[in-house]
Amino acid sequence: MAAIAKPRYQGLVAARRWEHDPARPRAEFSLAVGDRLGELTVIGHLARGRANELYQVWSNRHWCALTAKVIAPEHMTSGTLPAALRKEERVLARVRHPNIVQVFGTGDAGGRHYLLMEYLNGPSLFDVLESLPKRRLHLPDAVRAVMHVGAAVHYLHRCGWLYRDLKPANVHLREGIPVLLDFDVVWPMGKEGRRPGDRLGTAPYMAPEQVLRDPLTTATDVYGLGALLYELLTGRWPTEELEEDEDDEDWYDDEDDDEDYAPKTAMAPVNSNGSPRALTTRELNTRYPQLTAPVVPPRQRNSQVTPELEKLILRTLERDPSKRFQTVSGMLAALAPMLKGRHRLWPENAPVERRADTKTR
């Protein structure tokens, strides 16, 4: 009897167990399916944030389905665009990279401003994690995903911007290829020693210097990439307490895990009169445990992680930015050799440059 051929490895192209569940029209959306927005026709609801609404639209100009990020009506009362959207438009208009969402322009219709981007019908990495047992990716999938995201972040750094908000929800798949989106909290580089006046980002993935509003460098995004890789491999955040019942019994089994670990962005505290106030040291340490709590070694949560990969991850998550990789390219150069065999990024005999200086990068 002939042996049955083993299925070809497909990685994230298969987007394991993920099924598209489009958002149903709800009261939060100000536009209904079929409504017109200039030359755009709303054909689907995607998501709604604090200031924006995301729609799938049909563009008569481009003759294809696109994503429109539309300012919510209550945020257009002043007649000026929110600073975050202006920044995102400015950055996306200047960057072109295979792992960065493509922008198709901006427009105004009926007093509503919108940003037009490509429509990514694949899930986010957060959606993929939520569909998997114990919220973990297969090790090569996780490394490949971070290689793609890291390539986008490295390019963004070369263009003069720090990303600052790396997390699974901000990475969507285009035919299995990770694509970075949501550029509304990027930070300009080039002014040494400049301290940001805000604490924007998503709490579990923020570097300590980002939390403390210290000057930011490319090592800040190295921390974000390390936190992203950590969660893709373990299903948890780096400083999340280790639970006694955690184990690594064959995490490829189709066990159900209904726990919700959706990342939440920390909200700024306010005084009794509604004005913002500074966080106390105790509040900072509670909201941002990465300031004081040690990182749980990833091998304690996933024995599939190799010692070499664990060492790399722990270096990216060092509290002191000078102890991390100083560039994303240095991190990726050290990460690439960990993909071996059929998971290699390049054919075995391909002439690929080998960098020996990753220890100082």
The pLDDT of residue 259 is 32
Task: Indicate the CATH number of 125-242+265-360 among 1.10.510.10, 1.10.260.40, 3.90.920.10, 3.40.640.10.
Answer: 1.10.510.10
The answer to whether residue 248 scores a pLDDT higher than 70 is no
Domain limits, the chain: 21-118, 125-242+265-360
From CA 251, how far away is CA 14, in angstroms rounded? 18
Q: Is the pLDDT of residue 76 over 50?
A: yes
Average per-residue pLDDT for the chain = 83
> Would the pLDDT of 9 be above 80?
no
Convert the pLDDT of each residue in 306-331 to its tens digit: 999 999 999 999 999 999 999 999 99
Q: What pLDDT, on the 0 to 100 scale, is given for residue 334?
A: 94
Query: Per residue in 122-131, pLDDT tens?
Result: 899 999 999 8
Q: How large is the average pLDDT for residues 1-11?
A: 55
Residue 149 and residue 147: Cα distance in Å, rounded?
Answer: 6
Residue 255's pLDDT band (cuts 50, 70, 90): very low
Predicted confidence at residue 284, as pLDDT, reads 87
- Of 127, 141, 165, 182, the catalytic one is 165
Could you tell me the CA-to-CA distances from 120 to 26, 142, 163, 180 in Å, in that order? 21, 20, 20, 11
Instruction: Read off the pLDDT of each residue in 137-154 and give the average, rounded to a whole number.
Output: 96
pLDDT at 25: 52
Residue range 223-233, pLDDT digits in tens: 999 999 999 99
Residue 247: pLDDT over 80? no
In the residue annotation, 108 being an active-site residue is answered as no
The sign of the CA dihedral 224, 229, 232, 237 is negative
The tokens describing 252, both together, are 């490829």
Q: Which residue has the higher pLDDT, 302 or 197?
A: 302
Query: What was the pLDDT predicted at 343?
Result: 83
pLDDT of residue 43: 95
In angstroms, how far apart are the furthest CA atoms of the chain?
79
Instruction: Supply the pLDDT for residue 253.
Output: 33
Can you give the pLDDT at residue 186?
93
The residue assigned the tokens 């948890």 is: 236
**63 — pLDDT class (breaks 50, 70, 90):** very high
Q: What is the CATH number of domain 21-118?
A: 3.30.200.20
pLDDT of residue 200: 86
| 133 pLDDT more than 90 | no
